[in-house]
Structure 1
């Protein structure tokens, strides 16, 4: 039997009772009254009903409060308190009251939360335990519990950890704690605990520990199949996998065919060093073939000189030949075509290709030629059987014809697309262009008329051709105060809000993404509006983009950093609307945004570029911290934009492409002999990312010009013909 001590300080009693509950001491409770004399608690026999009531209330309170932040509880829809609507002068007044609901109380809790965090970090546990009971209904209470558990993880009981993981199963902190528990169990080689806590994950190290745990605990059903699946990868596996792989190999599970499969996977990933390691495990008769594949993979230009070695009989001769020929096609398609034509008869006898393999090579050749803007691409597209066409090949067949102004082919190739692909704004615009060029004006105008109502790049181009105004009417999305209140008071939204208020943007975004995955489209629209009202504009933009609502231009295209953008644009001779268009496309105004390649900040500058520009602008560059400062990032970004504009003779289209892909690539993509319409040049940019980037920035520029009240030139006036590559730029 456990005796619960009811102390005179209720907060301490609260914490002690909560601790007992977390340890599972819920049976055989005996409640008594204690008095303190010095350090000794003296038990009395007074068992008054009032004392029992107080003790039970203290016992129940943590559980009740815990339900407020427990993520697995059903989400109930909070009702708008009458005090928020009574006497309100307008909808805006009610919204203001909703946003400021319990604002002082929440600010006080936020301050207490920070004090508790600080106390825990400084190991002032008495102070931490004093503060903890006062925060049980604070949205970030699970985060505080997580930090506490993390510090004493080695001493925490399994029941306590289980209760945390169960209570907050869908919260990021639960995943973080589970990973730490698993790593700790693996370090101790406590494989029984590891199996208890493990859940399916993409983390390869944790997967390997899981397989190790299964081996140690005799749970080996289908384990060789699972080990093989993990081993069969194009990348190196962590050292934690060595033990299970050795067990699998010792059991005779590694075959020559599996080695060849992984060799092929590693070459696809370009991991030739790993390929060489694997090749050494092949039988002696096969090692020569593996090394030949490695050599040809490194330099496919060797194929014309070394192809005869592939004519010898071996199961891997054909895969090596096809892989090398495909790499040669991507590297130098004209050389590959000459080689293919020269040796077609020989290959048909010694390395015969089936219809699928031949169609795949035709596809590769056609695509490689089209991406290099070669005039013979169309002939190769015609060789691809309809059953082997892809969305990419169909699109690039049209683009190749657009580049060469072969409008009949453009029309025919678009009509050959599946209906869904044909009906995109992109291909409807280009079909209209082809029809106009072929003299079918009535049909062309009908298509352009349908497109001109669209608020996007192709819609604006269509409106220009018809001399119609752009559809730029602002229609703010206005959910009711009741809807916003109900959303704002959800526990998961409250957690995001508090993390945002604390400036913990990474954690706030993580919570927000999880929550958005649970909401339907209408509630995501409401959430986008709520984030806008919080001035969390980047998240507002991205959330609304996940819905079909497109008419709230104030939300989707905010005028943030207005003074800085206007001043810097004027100083550097840039149009402010274009600067805004670049920022909006680069980061959606998320000032701490970082790409997988390292581009950072509002204008997504690469560190090397930023360092170079900072010298010319005499701005002190301190690495990542410099790029995370919005004002400095804007200075460097507009400096780079101005440099691209000067380099490409004030051609907005080329400068925009260069900001994304680099000036050298843009020069390689310029037309050969004569100038080209800008819309044709943009459509045939080889990189999809840059092609979409340029068209989006141009459309955003039109929208921002309207938002700024600047008007300015129409889109077609901003898109001067692209000069030929033989006309040197400064």
Structure 2
């Protein structure tokens, strides 16, 4: 994929030809390595070899600035650092619309918020081109609080975080606590979310950072850690001593393995030791853990809590617990008690429509489905089907003009993204491309997608095409590279080509070198152990694990394995897709949780999948399958019919 983009310039100036394209890519990799490792002398030496005004110059100059600033900050580690405008603004203005610039502005915005420099903050906030990260979101909350406004749903999202918060978010919570906008119970709740997810280090660090507050001084971090590691011992000791938070931490940890035991502790011997707010949090947590295990008692546990005590995730599982029972009045109630941001999710619009129908409110149900209807999403398709609308391919947009394509080809940001990919800096290229398309209109997006496809950046082509709002090109949203090979492999094992394409689009976005965090590789993300098993099973002679990323080999192994999982699960594409992602034994375990004789529709089963990744995976694969069928066959079996019915087992 090495192209002349490596030699392109942001301002159209000629580049010195002392280094060829490949050499420049190698050099940039070395520069990035030196920067990441903090080797400033090596960084400077290598950076001098890059031609002036190169596509990579914004990266070099901003990394150089960060080296300089890091040295200053080390000299005054306890000071509140705020970069001076005269230091940072020239860089931001000189290199607009590049990913390092966006990151630099994000960091500066957080500094400005922590220092209360609101006029400059407001000015720079409008310059962000990409969606804010967690730190900037908390900086926005800072500004709202300064103006006397509190965004409670957004603040609840911060408090409910199960991972270490960005520094600005942690500072925000301390500031709001000092101002009595949030209470000790809210800080307790944040720590409980962390320890429930076994983020002990993040929890103790947060408490240590709050040690200058009355709340922080009252917490023994060693006892907190012990309650996570040995909850039984902590509870035994807590009979005579220990705080509300320590007791709750121990019970929260026990709830993960046995929600019923935790419930007995909350309403039994420790009932008098827990504050009302802590009890409500524990009941939400116990309900959540029970719902993940598909236990019918989950709704009862949730009923002892309140929406104010729940995280967004807990509210969603409260609804799923009601769906498990097919208790439609309760489904309706739990969705209605969600914050607006969750209620606007197409999943809950669809299920609210189903609940309204089940309770005899068909007119309101149709209004809900009209809101949810969409040609591309899982629940958008299901809503369309409930309305009696057949999902069809969108009208093809007018062909892109040469002028539109040429603008995309000459876009310096897109050229820079491609050059980064060519240099082997895939994540830098990924974010650079995303920034460039963030504020594009439909025609620009289609041109960027077409350009990316021609340069074999298939995942970015899909990302650009997915963003269009009015003009949609199905062939760009649902690319079909390697068509002849894939079609032949699917036919050999008797699989629907549309389903295989739908799965690969979700697995790898057609990146042949894609590698997951757990070691899966290639187009169909095949694990080494799985590859060895399938190769032996089908008699693939001479197979080596190094062959996995070969396109033909990967498709052979992936389609054969998918067929095995498909047959293992009664030729249900829902169960097979789930098994391909989560492991072939998992769907069988979930069917046992349903119980023998219970039959539920595929959409409901999919919504109950306890792993977020697998749940979204199945939705996307099945939705993709419909789109690919429309693209390849000009017709499709309705999604609801494809999902079928899932039968429980013993």
**TM-score for the superposition, normalised by structure 2:** 0.68
| 1:540-581 Cα shifts (integer Å, max 9, x gaps) | 112333554672110011222212222211221211111111
- 2:431 pairs, out of 507, 513, 518, with 513
Say which of 313, 317, 322 aligns to 2:248: 322
Answer yes or no: is 1:534 the counterpart of 2:455.
Answer: yes
**In structure 1, C-alpha distance between the alignment counterparts of 2:517 and 2:462, rounded to whole Å:** 21
2:228 aligned to which of 286, 289, 297: 297
Q: Distance in 1 between matches of 2:466 and 2:387?
A: 29
Give the structure, 1 or 2, with the largest relative contact order (CA under 8 Å, sep 6 or more): 2
Count of residue pairs the alignment pairs up: 513
Alpha-carbon distance change, 700 to 225 in structure 1, aligned in 2, over 3 angstroms: closer
Alignment match of 2:237 (pick from 306, 309, 316): 309
Deviation at 1:354?
3.1
Q: Deviations over 1:275-321 (max 9, x none)?
A: 9xx9xxxxxxxxxx988766653454x35xx623223446xx54433
Distance change >3 Å, CA 354–CA 374, structure 1 → 2: same
Q: Is 2:503 the partner of 1:647?
A: no
Q: Partners in 2 of 1:643 and 1:425 — Cα distance? A: 33
* Distance in 2, Cα, partners of 1:338 & 1:651: 39
State the match for 1:6 in structure 2: none
Aligned counterparts of 1:160 and 1:557: Cα–Cα separation in 2: 41
Residue 410 to residue 521, structure 1, CA distance change in 2 (3 Å): same
Equivalence for 1:554? 475
Report the secondary structure of 2:424's partner residue.
helix
Deviations 1:683-723 (A, max 9, x none): 11111111111111111111111211163532222222111
Equivalent residue for 1:402?
323
Structure 2 residue aligned with 1:103? none
CA distance in 2 between counterparts of 1:151 and 1:423 reads: 43
1:389 equivalent in structure 2: 310
Q: Distance in 2 between matches of 1:334 and 1:266?
A: 16
CA offset at residue 499 of structure 1? Answer: 6.8
CA distance in 1, matches of 2:459, 2:534: 26
In 2, Cα distance between the equivalents of 1:168 and 1:134? 11
Structure 2 vs 1, CA of residues 488 and 508 (structure 1 numbering), >3 Å: closer, same or farther?
farther
CA offset digits 1:418-448 (Å, max 9, x no partner): 3332232211211121122122233334443
State the SS of the aligned residue for 2:648: coil
Q: Where does residue 120 of structure 1 map in the other structure?
A: none
Displacement of 1:462 = 2.9
Report the 3-state secondary structure (helix = DSSP H, G, I; strand = E; otherwise coil) of the residue aligned with 1:428.
Answer: helix
Query: Are 1:672 and 2:607 matched, yes or no?
Result: no
Instruction: Provide the residue aligned with 2:638 in structure 1.
Output: 714
Separation in structure 1 between the aligned mates of residue 45 and residue 551 of structure 2, nearest angstrom: 46
Alignment match, 1:340: 266
Gaps of 5+ in 2: 1-6, 83-162, 165-190, 209-219
Task: Write the distance in 2 (CA, Å) between the matches of 1:144 and 1:579.
Answer: 36
Give the direction of change, closer, same or farther, for the CA distance of 1:265–1:469 in structure 2 (3 Å limit).
closer
User: What CA distance in whole angstroms lies between the structure 2 residues aligned with 1:454 and 1:557?
Assistant: 13
Distance change (3 Å), C-alpha of 1:198 and 1:429: same
Offset at 1:198? 1.8
Q: Work out whether residues 452 and 463 of structure 1, in 8 Å CA contact, stay in contact via their aligned partners in 2.
A: yes
User: Are 1:629 and 2:557 matched, yes or no?
Assistant: no
> Which residue of structure 2 lines up, in the alignment, with residue 127 of structure 1?
none
CA distance in 1, matches of 2:621, 2:305: 35
Q: Does 1:725 align with 2:649?
A: yes
* 8 A contact 2:629–2:636 mirrored in 1: yes
Query: Structure 1 residues 151, 512: closer, same or farther in 2, change over 3 A?
Result: closer
Check 1:662–1:526 CA distance in 2 against 1; reply closer, same or farther (3 A cut). Answer: same
In the alignment, which of 44, 57, 60 is matched to residue 174 of structure 1? 60
Aligned mate of 2:538, from 604, 617, 623 = 617
Residue matched to 1:62: none
The counterpart of 2:613, out of the listed 689, 706, 709, is: 689
CA distance in 2, matches of 1:335, 1:432: 36
Maintained 8 Å contact 2:396/2:472: yes
1:413 lines up with 2:282 in the alignment: no
Asked if 1:662 corresponds to 2:586, the answer is: no
How far, CA to CA, are the matches of 1:450 and 1:166 in structure 2?
52
Note the alpha carbon deviations across 1:100-134, whole angstroms, 9 max, x for none. xxxxxxxxx9xxxxxxxxxxxxxxxxxxxxxx954
Query: Equivalent of 2:78, from 210, 214, 222?
Result: 222
Q: Is the 8 A contact 1:171 1:511 kept in 2?
A: no
Q: Which segment is superposed worse, 508-517 or 356-365?
A: 508-517
1:366 shift after superposition? 1.3
Q: In the TM superposition, what is the alpha-carbon distance from 1:343 to its structure 2 partner? A: 0.5
Distance 1:477 1:343, change over 3 A: farther
Query: Distance in 2 between the 1:403 and 1:367 partners?
Result: 13
Quote how far apart the aligned CAs of 1:158 are: 6.6
1:584 Cα offset (Å)? 0.9
Q: CA RMSD in A?
A: 4.3
Change (3 A) 1:537 1:158: closer
Alignment match of 2:257 (pick from 315, 331, 351): 331
Aligned to 1:563, what secondary structure does the other structure show?
Answer: helix
Q: TM-score, normalised by structure 1?
A: 0.61
Is 1:586 matched up with 2:507? yes
Q: How far did residue 593 of structure 1 move?
A: 1.1
- Which residue does 2:629 correspond to in 1? 705
| Structure 1 residue 625: Cα displacement | 2.9
Structure 1 residues 224 and 387: alpha-carbon distance in aligned structure 2, compared to 1, 3 A threshold: closer
Query: In the alignment, does 2:290 pair up with 1:369?
Result: yes
Q: Which residue of 1 aligns with 2:466?
A: 545
> 1:140 & 1:490 partners in 2: Cα distance?
21
Q: Report which of the two structures shows the higher radius of gyration computed on alpha carbons.
A: 1
Asked if structure 2 preserves the Cα contact closer than 8 Å seen for 1:611 and 1:621, the reply is no
Asked if structure 2 preserves the Cα contact closer than 8 Å seen for 1:581 and 1:698, the reply is: yes
Q: How many Å separate the matches in 2 of 1:366 and 1:537?
A: 42
Show the 5 A alignment for 1:12-411. 71=10, 75=11, 134=17, 143=25, 171=57, 174=60, 198-199=67-68, 214=74, 219-220=75-76, 222=78, 268-269=198-199, 297-300=228-231, 302-303=232-233, 307-313=235-241, 318-345=244-271, 348=272, 352-411=273-332
The CA deviation at 1:629 is: 1.0
Q: C-alpha distance in 1, partners of 2:297/2:620? A: 30
Separation in structure 2 between the aligned mates of residue 177 and residue 436 of structure 1, nearest angstrom: 57
Task: Decide whether aligned partners of structure 1 residues 681 and 225 sit closer, same or farther in structure 2, where only a CA change above 3 A counts.
Answer: same
Report the secondary structure of 2:599's partner residue. coil
- 1:410 touches 1:434 (CA, 8 Å); kept in 2? yes
